[in-house]
Homo-oligomer: A and B are copies of this chain.
Amino acid sequence: MRVLHHYWLSSGSRFCRVMLAERKLEVMLKLEHYWEKPKAFLMLNPASTVPVMVEDDSTVLVGVWPIAEYLDETYPDSAMITGTPAQKAEIRRLTDWFAVKVEREVVTPLVYEKLMRRLTGEGEPSSTVIRASLNNLSAHLEYINHLAERRKWLAGPKLSAADLYAAASLSVVDYLGDVQWQDWPEAKTWYSRIKSRPSFRSLLADHVTGLKPPAHYTDLDF
């Protein structure tokens, strides 16, 4: 069976799980403590990052760009990057926005400060870094709110990879209790639509040992 090497609070891993679930494709999850650079995992991906997907025929797909395009090419009927060239470019732009920019400015530092430091014994969280990341988060939520006000889905009239990545990122930050949803009503309505999709339900059941999500995290009516 297809295997997805993942980590619970990795937005890229969550994105791939939802991309697979939207297509009703089965996958076996394999948890990776990628920061410890396990030897067997380095053989698959010398960058030691998740997600990595391994197909039945042993095709190895490393990272968000390769996995997203591979799934679209292999299962074109349920493609998540569709439309005119301009629409596809917009979907890829926004997916990359969340996969690279939001990852660097918000998700990676918050997960590091609030979880990884404890797992790796690297001292107390830095309140300066947390504050800067939350400021960045506000700017990104404002952008999502702006897009959700003007479009049915973030990249246009159809649900796309951009929505799934954005929601995957926000679900990680929301797990940490850092999203002030009441300040972003349009973003909240958009997120509640994604949250109620069957593909998203299993993500919300994840629990990281020793780190409890806030009460509203799994609520559809939050």
CA distance A81 to B47 in the complex (A): 21
A213 interface residue (CB < 8 Å to B):
no
> Which chain B residues border A97 with CB–CB below 8 Å?
47
Distance, CA A46 to CA B147, complexed state (A) = 12
CB neighbours of A128 from chain B (8 A): none
Identical subunits present:
2
A73: chain B residues at CB < 8 Å are 85, 88
Given contacts A60-B86, A85-B74, A143-B46, contact A69 B69 (CB under 8 A): yes
**A85 with B100: in contact, given A46-B143, A65-B65, A65-B92 (CB under 8 Å)?**
no
Q: Residues 55-70 of chain A: 1 if any B CB is under 8 Å from the residue's CB, otherwise 0?
A: 0000111111110011
Taking CB atoms, residues of chain B closer than 8 Å to A104 are 104
CB contacts (< 8 Å) of A64 on chain B: these are 96
| Residue numbers in B under 8 Å from A95 (CB-CB) | 65
Contact of A85 among B62, B63, B70, B101 (CB under 8 A): B70
With an 8 A cutoff between CB atoms, is A207 at the interface?
Answer: no
A93 at the interface (CB under 8 A from B): yes
* A29 within 8 A of partner (CB): no
Interface residues of A (CB under 8 A from B): 46-47, 59-66, 69-70, 73-74, 85-86, 88-89, 92-93, 95-97, 100-101, 104, 143
A64-B96, A69-B69 known; 19 other A-B pairs, CB under 8 Å?
A46-B143, A47-B101, A59-B85, A59-B86, A62-B89, A62-B93, A63-B92, A63-B96, A65-B65, A65-B92, A65-B95, A66-B88, A66-B93, A66-B96, A70-B85, A70-B89, A74-B85, A100-B100, A104-B104
